Amino acid sequence: MKKRVVPVKNVTRTETLFHNLNSRSQVVPGIGLVHGQSGFGKTTTMTWLFNQDGVNAIYIRCYATDTPGSVLERIVRELGMVPRYPMQRMVDDVIERMRAEELTLFVDECDYVVGSNRIMDSFRDIYDGTDQPVILIGMDQIAKRISHRKQLFNRISDWIEFQPADLADVGMFADHLLEADILLEEDLLNAICKRAHGEVRRILTALEKVESLALANEMAVVSLADLKGREADLFLDFNGKGRLG
């Protein structure tokens, strides 16, 4: 399969969020929140967005072992600087560089640190000191957890929740990613969407298996009926039973 990000609904909504944060008026706060269940493509989408031409940003990933110092050190190093202690010096350095270069800060896997007052307050301090967008990325429960932090929550002006891929999204994945103009019938696309429960990782796994089958058998069009007797290979990861239903 081809390696590219497909402009499905979650991707286009993320692009809109980024544009809104960077084109907002001065009276509108500039923290964004991207959240949703695992497997819906958040990290892939944010990494792709970060690497687009014209996107002026730094990207960090949080870890379960993070402390306020380790997070700040990571941000400082992403900015090409040497960490300096005490930690307030690092905050000042980050603010100065982000403000001067008008950088957006992406914070992925934010669930790991949302329980730390000092880390979350540091993100807020960075935003307050720079007025540059900060985008927090996490799982589906992070919005509820952040809502209890009123000072931070009140600075969020734009947020999206990644939704399960629907049939139209699955069709778009197939159109954009399959090699050799392989066409999948709608009954097969619908079965993949249903059994994957909208999870992008599982959808792509199924599409790759269908592509391999089609190429091996020189099939230009593949329907659900063509998989008779082979459903176990395609859907095993979906229900653990190796069958539809």
Arithmetic mean of pLDDT over the chain: 91
> Is 60 exceeded by the pLDDT of residue 153?
yes
Co-location of 152 and 191 in the same domain: no
Co-location of 124 and 196 in the same domain: no
Tokens of 120: 């979350």
| CATH number, domain containing residue 205 | 1.10.8
**pLDDT grade, residue 235 (50/70/90)?**
low
Indicate the residue among 161, 181, 207 that finishes a domain.
Answer: 161
> Is 70 exceeded by the pLDDT of residue 234?
no
Q: Which string of b and e fits 173-200 if b means at least 16 CB within 10 Å?
A: bbeebbeeebebeeebbebbbebbebbb
Question: How confident is the model at residue 132, as a pLDDT?
Answer: 97
> Is 50 exceeded by the pLDDT of residue 245?
no
- Asked whether the whole model's pTM tops 0.85, one would answer yes
Co-location of 122 and 187 in the same domain: no
What CA–CA distance (Å, rounded) separates 97 from 126? 11
Packing angle, helices 186-196 and 200-216, rounded to 10: 140
Co-location of 78 and 186 in the same domain: no
pLDDT digits (tens, 9 = 90+) for 184-233: 999 999 999 999 999 999 999 999 999 998 998 899 999 999 887 666 56
Co-location of 148 and 44 in the same domain: yes
Co-location of 146 and 213 in the same domain: no
Co-location of 58 and 117 in the same domain: yes
Co-location of 62 and 138 in the same domain: yes
Domain extent at residue 129: 9-161
For residue 244, is it within any domain? no
Question: How confident is the model at residue 244, as a pLDDT?
Answer: 36
Tokens of 212: 């391999």
Co-location of 87 and 30 in the same domain: yes
How many other CB atoms sit within 10 Å of the CB of residue 245?
8
Co-location of 220 and 150 in the same domain: no
For residue 1, is it within any domain? no
Question: How confident is the model at residue 189, as a pLDDT?
Answer: 95
> Is 60 exceeded by the pLDDT of residue 67?
yes
pLDDT digits (tens, 9 = 90+) for 68-83: 999 999 999 999 999 9
> Is 90 exceeded by the pLDDT of residue 243?
no
Q: How many domains does the chain have?
A: 2
Asked if 131 and 28 touch (Cβ cutoff 8 Å), the reply is: no
Nearest to 47 by CA among 10, 16, 5, 77: 5
Indicate the residue among 140, 161, 182 that finishes a domain.
Answer: 161
Question: How confident is the model at residue 60, as a pLDDT?
Answer: 97
For residue 31, is it within any domain? yes
Asked if 171 and 189 touch (Cβ cutoff 8 Å), the reply is: yes
Question: How confident is the model at residue 14, as a pLDDT?
Answer: 97
Indicate the residue among 128, 161, 194 that finishes a domain.
Answer: 161
